Chains A and B, each alone.
Chain A
């Protein structure tokens, strides 16, 4: 069964450093998403991306965050200057259509020191 893959599985970064989280969505999917889950809390929406542009973003997704689809297969989330409160699990998801089921990767655990 096709799946969303994310790398790395764990990223440890010093506060203030830039970090890039990578995702390979399911190949025929057109809609891409990033969510995050702070330890023990619910999953929160960050951003959705379609047709090479952001469709929607949450209040969490401020100017420190950016997304990119640099080629036909990868979808990345960049945090420009990380803060301690950015420590969380970051999940990438994709769907064939905006109204259809979203499939999640296993996440990247981001730890900011």
Chain B
């Protein structure tokens, strides 16, 4: 019930291409969905987050798409660059008295020139 399932586990994309990472959840009480980017030896860095009252949020090259009925959300990285090569984690939390983040298992993205 508390799990967030993330796919794919790894992704290789050509420079300039679109990277797409998907997450699915079961707990309908989740109401906050952030994405984090993590470089080796560093902590997760907040990239972008969405709440279920909108279906899409865009910040620069990063877009979250949210499908409430399907209980799925995804991260799209447009014009992917080698500097985007990192591990990406989706997460979710239930704001009603519980602020803990439940993380997906991560996607290792490699953007090749």
Contacts and interface: CB of A to CB of B under 8 A. Distances in A.
Interface string A1-33: 000101000000000000000000000000101
Given A99-B95, A101-B34, A101-B49, A45 B43 contact: no
Interface of A is mostly: strand
Size bracket, chain B contacts? 20 to 34
A48 B91 CA distance: 16
Interface residues of A, number: 25
B45 A56 contact: no
A51 interface: no
Contacts of B36: 104
Interface string A40-73: 0111110010000001101000000000000000
Given A43-B44, A104-B45, A106-B42, A55 B106 contact: no
B99 A98 contact: yes
Interface in B1-56: 32, 34, 36, 41-46, 49
B78 interface: no
A104 B44 CA distance: 6
B32 A99 contact: yes
A91 interface: yes
Contacts of B68: none
Interface of B: 32, 34, 36, 41-46, 49, 89, 91, 95, 98-106
Interface of A: 4, 6, 31, 33, 35, 41-45, 48, 55-56, 58, 91, 95, 98-99, 101-107
